[in-house]
Chain A
């Protein structure tokens, strides 16, 4: 066994010592249950995920079924409400609850895919910029500065207006507008990690650069990455809703929370439930993800915990 691989093993044990203990899930579960908000967050996130997966069997009605006889029915507890439509109906007589249930699919799918894309680009750029430094770093960081100077929503608007709104475009747009924060984070981490002994040792015995990046640097930036990604799913869900609200995100007949809200806005004076419930769905989901993210930060990144 060469010194090289021994070093690698050593660094891996340092970075992932928690992952190698046998009672991995038990330990995490215990840590999770210690935090009340973390537990609540996890339960809600799991619930929303399950709702999204089993939307078809959970929704009481076809979400796009137009029923003129049931137009603008208030929720069940209000005067004139019907138990067939617990959260009421919209201006076309469609069931709000069913629409919100189906809307969760798009919110989660877009949120998670966009963050995955942003993370992949950002981690790559951050690793390269942080490790190589010099001119490459300078160029990449000026690029990052430029992206930071353009508000995300503005950038997304411009791209969506050019390529036309669709789910794929939306994911790509949200992905490429969000990579900057990962690039900055990873670069910062790499700048300090590359000065540590194990990286210097690997370098001095001639380990190739891409191997150092993949085997020594990448595992060490995973923890902060997971924390930021979780919180980023929350902001991406809000951003998607905002774009759909502006009419540039998800297009009908695909159902999104932002879209339902946008439809409901015109009826705010007479039918408050149209806009109120989808907004609550967004708020509760995002809140749960933030709780979960904060808990993850406490567990994975003790330095950030003050």
Chain B
């Protein structure tokens, strides 16, 4: 396990390098932010001076070196819009995003696990058809549209929940439902097909023929094994979930990382963009690592 962990951690390094390089190249290609930072009537001398002081006149490799040097000190440069270092601004928004992501994950798990198991054990029953049909429908619905429709129904028409913003629990309900049901759709499908495969195996038949009650066979014998592929694929979906948060945050004006990032993209505040992209990518990689570890804990047969 220790060896595996070390090897897995070492594999992260080149990936982080490539990401940082790609992000740097994009920003390099984007051209200089000087025009946006100075007032419109700035003289050419002023522009030149600012370019010089920001190091934008240096050749590509020197700029990359300075950038990497900053990166090792977790310095992504200064946001010209906020006039301060980018990373703290990004980190400040992180709790809101994590709150939304965690709440959505809980919604997804609460829906998907019972529904997935149920529809697998009662294949082709009305409930199974409802679950499979629902998960296809949810996959086809754009998440932001679902969010808007939920606002229309529960906020505008019924007045049960606030339309937007972050505050108490009632603010969290609609965004978490929007994102959570979206994740649940995919998860239900996975758990169902994984359970169906397991329920056909010999050891399940043996357990049943020994007279163990169905409840235990399904939940103790089958579900644990069915979880293995579900965990991996769910973790690989972290990236999709994070993408979903970006859009859900915009729909509900949720003051998280997504909203910050989209503002930064619109104002071309590249320091914020770089820091956000890096933090998000790091988070996704971390989740993938976590998935590998859980994978190993769930299935002791797996050797690395």
- The chain A residues found within 8 Å of chain B, CB to CB, are 142-143, 145-146, 148-154, 157-162, 234, 238, 241-242, 245-248, 258, 261, 265, 268-269, 272, 275-276, 279, 282-284, 286-287, 290, 306
Contact = CB atoms under 8 A, between A and B. Distances in A.
Contacts of A287: 136-137, 140
A258 B15 CA distance: 33
B247 A242 contact: yes
Given A151-B242, A279-B141, A282-B145, 8 more contacts: A151-B284, A154-B277, A161-B30, A238-B142, A246-B247, A246-B250, A268-B151, A283-B145
19 contacts: A146-B22, A148-B236, A150-B22, A152-B240, A154-B261, A161-B268, A238-B140, A245-B144, A261-B144, A261-B145, A265-B148, A268-B151, A275-B148, A279-B145, A279-B149, A282-B145, A283-B141, A286-B139, A286-B140
Given A142-B15, A158-B277, A261-B148, A149 B239 contact: yes
A299 B81 CA distance: 55
A154 B141 contact: no
B152 interface: yes
A161 B273 contact: yes
Contact of B156 (A154, A159, A234, A268): A268
Nearest to B265: A161
Contacts, number: 130
B165 to A, nearest CB: 15
Interface string B268-304: 1000010001001100110010000000000000000
Given A157-B265, A248-B265, A279-B149, A149 B19 contact: yes
Contact of B26 (A159, A265, A290): A159
B14 interface: yes
A154 B243 contact: yes
Contacts of B261: 154, 157
Interface of B: 14-15, 18-19, 22-23, 26-27, 29-30, 136-137, 139-145, 148-149, 151-152, 156, 193, 196-197, 236, 239-240, 242-243, 246-247, 250-251, 261-262, 265-266, 268, 273, 277, 280-281, 284-285, 288
A242 B141 CA distance: 11
B19 to A, nearest CB: 5
B284 A306 contact: no
Nearest to B200: A306
A161 B143 CA distance: 22
A158 B156 CA distance: 33
Contacts of A283: 137, 140-142, 145
A151 B136 contact: no
Sorted from nearest, which 7 A-B pairs have the closest CB atoms? A279-B145, A151-B243, A287-B140, A161-B265, A153-B243, A146-B18, A286-B140
A148 B265 contact: no
B239 A150 contact: yes
Interface class of chain A by DSSP: helix
B242 A275 contact: no
Contacts of B151: 268
Contact of A154 (B137, B139, B148, B246): B246
A209 B20 CA distance: 34
Contacts of B251: 265
Given A157-B261, A158-B265, A148 B141 contact: no
Contacts of B143: 242
Nearest to B157: A272
Contacts of B262: 157, 246
Contact of B139 (A142, A272, A290): A290
B273 A282 contact: no
A151 B239 contact: yes
Contacts of A161: 30, 265-266, 268, 273
Given A245-B144, A282-B145, A149 B139 contact: no
Nearest to A37: B136
Given A151-B239, A158-B273, A142 B144 contact: no
A149 B284 contact: yes
Contacts of B281: 149-150
Contact of A143 (B18, B23, B265, B268): B18
A287 B138 CA distance: 9
A205 B136 CA distance: 49
Nearest to B282: A149
Contact of B140 (A149, A158, A265, A290): A290
B144 A306 contact: no
Contacts of B26: 158-159, 162
Contact of B152 (A148, A162, A241, A275): A275
Q: Which one of A158, A241, A282 has the highest number of Cβ atoms from chain B below 10 Å of its Cβ?
A: A158
A183 to B, nearest CB: 15
B212 to A, nearest CB: 25
Nearest to A159: B26
A181 to B, nearest CB: 11
A142 B140 contact: no
Nearest to B197: A306
A161 B242 CA distance: 19
A152 B142 contact: no
Nearest to B145: A279
Nearest to A231: B139
A151 B249 CA distance: 15
A268 B145 contact: no
Contacts of B148: 261, 265, 268, 275, 279
